[in-house]
Structure 1
C-alpha cells in the first residue's frame, strides 16, 4: 500500500500515513470541524442577542463568516502550499454544495423554504452572487491580463464587488419597496443558543468563541494536508478531491446550522447563512491570490474550476427563481426549486468525476 512521505509545514512535522490512515485522519478532523463550527455559530447568535445585533446581519455576516472559517483555513493554507487546484476547487465547488445543503434543509421545513422570506433581501443576495460568479467565470475563461506583484486584477475586482454587495445589502435591509403576498406563517422563534449559553457572561462567550475559532483553524489546516494525501494516494487528483471531499468537509458547519435553523422555523436566517457563505467563498479568492506566489491564481485554471462556477450559477439561479415565483409546484412539502438544486448538484459530481 502506498504510504505518504513525512510532511513539513511551517515548522510542524506530520508523519507518513497510509491511505486508510489518511481517510481516518480526514474523518476525525472533519468531525472536529463539525462540532467546533456548530458551537461557534451558536455562540455568535448568543453574542448577537447579548449586544442587540440585527438577526438579518447575523445571518448574512456573522453566522456566514463563522461557518466559513473552515473554508478560510483550508483556502489560505492551500494557497501557502501553492496548491492552485485545491484552493479554487474547494472554494468554487463549495458554492454548489452549500446551496444543495439549503435544498436538503427543505426536508425539515413546513413547505418550500423559498416561500418564507418577506423582503427582497434574499433575492438580492442571490442576484449579487450570480454577478460575482459570472465575473469569476469570465476571468478564468479570458485569463488575467493585468498583474501587479503577482496578484491579478480579476481577484481585486471580485473583492471590490463583494464590498459593494455587502454595502448594498446592508442599506437595502430596511427597505420595504418589494412586498410579496400569500406568505406562510412568520418564523416562530429566533435562532436559539444551546442550553447554558444564556447564563454565561459576555467574557465567557467571547473566550468560547475564540477557542472554537482556533479549533477550526487547526483542524482546517489538517484537513488540507489529509485531502492532499488522499488525492495522491487514491489517484483521484487534487481537483476532484478539492471539489468534492474537501468542499464537503468544510461545509459541515453550514449543514448543521441550516438544518437547526429550519427545524425551529428560522428559515430566513438559514437562507442568508448559505448565500452569505457563498459570497465569502468568492471573496476569499483575493487573499488566496496574494498568498499564491506562482502567478495569478485565476490564471490557467482547470476545467473543473469552470464547471464548478457554472454549476454555482445554475443552483443560485434556480433559487433566485424560487424566491421570485411564490406559487411553485411541489412534491409533498418539497419545493420544485430545492429538488432541481439537488438534481443539479448530483449532476455536478458526475461532471467533476468525468473531467478529473
Structure 2
C-alpha cells in the first residue's frame, strides 16, 4: 500500500506539472517578464512546492536526512533532466538555443547558494532565534538575486551571439493568449495547492518506506522523494521544449534548483533539536557536492554554447548525465 501510494502521489505531481507549463508560459507573455524569469520564479517555485512540503514535514518529524537529501538530491535530479530535454530538442544543443543572460545569472546564483550549506556544515554550531545564520542568509540572497536577475534582463551589459539555432523569447500575440490574467493566476494557484498536498502525503510515505524497508533516509530522500517531487520539472521541461519555449525550459530547471536550496531554511526551521546543518551526515552532504559539480558543468555549457555535440546533444549534457548516474551508482553501493 505504501509503494502504491508513493506511485499514485508521484503520478498526481507529474500530471499537475504538465498543466503548470502552459500556465507559466502564458503568464510570462501576459506580464512581459520573459520566459527565463518566469521559468525561474513562477514555474520554478510552483513545481518545487511539493518538495518544499516534503522537506519541512520531514524536519518536523525529526527525519533530518530525509529533509536535507530531498532538497539537494532534487537539484541533482533536475539538472540531469536538462540532458534528457537536450535529447528531445533536435534542432541544436539546448544550451546553445536557450541563450539568455537571466539563465546564466541564475546558474551563478545557484552556485553561490549551494556553497552556503557547505560553509554552515564546516563552521561552528551557532543559532539565532533557533535558526543557523545560513538559514537567514539563503532567502536574503535569493530575493536579492531575483532583483538583480530582472536588472540583467532589462539592462544587459553584454549580449549572447545570435546564430541560426538561437531561439529568441518572443511573446505570443495578445489575441492568441487565453484566458485572462486573473483566470490564469487562479488556475496556477489551484494547481500549486494540489502539489503542496501531494508533497505532504509523499513525505509521510517516504519516512515509512525508509523505516519498513530498512534503507537509509538519505537514499529515500535523494533518490525517491527527490525524484518523485521533481517529476513536474521533468514533465514541464520536456513539454516546454516541444513547445519551443527553450528559455522557459532551462530557466524552469535552474530557477527550480535555486528555489530548492530554500528548502534548507524551512527544514532548519522545522527541526527543533538544533541546527539541521550539524545533524546531517556526510552521505547527505555528498549530494550538495554532486549538485555543485553538475551546475558547474551546466554553467560552462551555457557560456561555451556548443552547437552540436556527441549523439546530437551537448557535451555538457552528456557529462551531466554521466555524473548523475555515477552518483546514483555510488549511493546504491553505499546503501
The TM-score, its normalising length taken from structure 2, stands at: 0.91
Q: Which of 81, 88, 111 lines up with 1:108 in the alignment?
A: 88
Q: Distance in 2 between matches of 1:156 and 1:199?
A: 39
Aligned ranges 1:302-321 → 2 under 5 Å: 302-321=281-300
Query: Quick check: 2:47–2:195 contact (8 Å CA) kept in 1?
Result: no
SS of structure 2 residue aligned to 1:148 = coil
Q: Does 1:187 align with 2:205?
A: no
Q: Which of 159, 184, 192 lines up with 2:139 in the alignment?
A: 159
What residue in structure 2 maps to residue 292 of structure 1? 271
Q: Which of 301, 308, 314 lines up with 2:280 in the alignment?
A: 301
Q: Distance in 2 between matches of 1:327 and 1:199?
A: 36
Structure 1 residues 81 and 41: alpha-carbon distance in aligned structure 2, compared to 1, 3 A threshold? farther
SS of structure 2 residue aligned to 1:178 = coil
Q: Does 1:91 align with 2:71?
A: yes
Aligned ranges 1:114-263 → 2 under 5 Å: 114-142=95-123, 144-181=124-161, 183-187=163-167, 198-263=177-242
Range with bigger deviation, 219-228 or 284-293: 284-293
Structure 1 residues 156 and 236: alpha-carbon distance in aligned structure 2, compared to 1, 3 A threshold? same
What residue in structure 2 maps to residue 32 of structure 1? 12
Consecutive unaligned residues in structure 2, runs of 5 or more: none
Query: Quick check: 2:70–2:222 contact (8 Å CA) kept in 1?
Result: yes
C-alpha RMSD of matched pairs (Å):
2.2
Q: Distance in 1 between matches of 2:162 and 2:183?
A: 43
Q: Distance in 1 between matches of 2:186 and 2:142?
A: 30
Query: Quick check: 2:36–2:250 contact (8 Å CA) kept in 1?
Result: no
Q: Please state how far the C-alpha of 1:204 moved relative to its aligned partner.
A: 4.1
Q: Please state how far the C-alpha of 1:202 moved relative to its aligned partner.
A: 4.7
Query: Quick check: 1:41–1:66 contact (8 Å CA) kept in 2?
Result: no
Structure 1 residues 125 and 214: alpha-carbon distance in aligned structure 2, compared to 1, 3 A threshold? closer
Aligned ranges 1:270-285 → 2 under 5 Å: 270-285=249-264
What residue in structure 2 maps to residue 326 of structure 1? 305
Q: Please state how far the C-alpha of 1:158 moved relative to its aligned partner.
A: 2.1
Q: Which of 48, 61, 86 lines up with 1:68 in the alignment?
A: 48
Q: Distance in 2 between matches of 1:214 and 1:119?
A: 30
Consecutive unaligned residues in structure 1, runs of 5 or more: 1-20
SS of structure 2 residue aligned to 1:151 = coil
Deviations 1:68-95 (A, max 9, x none): 1111221222122221111100000111
- Which structure shows the bigger proportion of residues in helix conformation? 2
Query: Quick check: 2:37–2:102 contact (8 Å CA) kept in 1?
Result: no
Q: Distance in 1 between matches of 2:137 and 2:169?
A: 39
Q: Distance in 1 between matches of 2:170 and 2:60?
A: 39
What residue in structure 1 maps to residue 25 of structure 2? 45
Q: Which has the larger radius of gyration?
A: 1
Q: Distance in 1 between matches of 2:283 and 2:107?
A: 23
Deviations 1:153-192 (A, max 9, x none): 1221222222222222111112333233362434378698
SS of structure 1 residue aligned to 2:197 = helix
Structure 1 residues 161 and 201: alpha-carbon distance in aligned structure 2, compared to 1, 3 A threshold? closer
The TM-score, its normalising length taken from structure 1, stands at: 0.86
Q: Which of 319, 325, 329 lines up with 1:346 in the alignment?
A: 325
Q: Distance in 1 between matches of 2:192 and 2:39?
A: 18
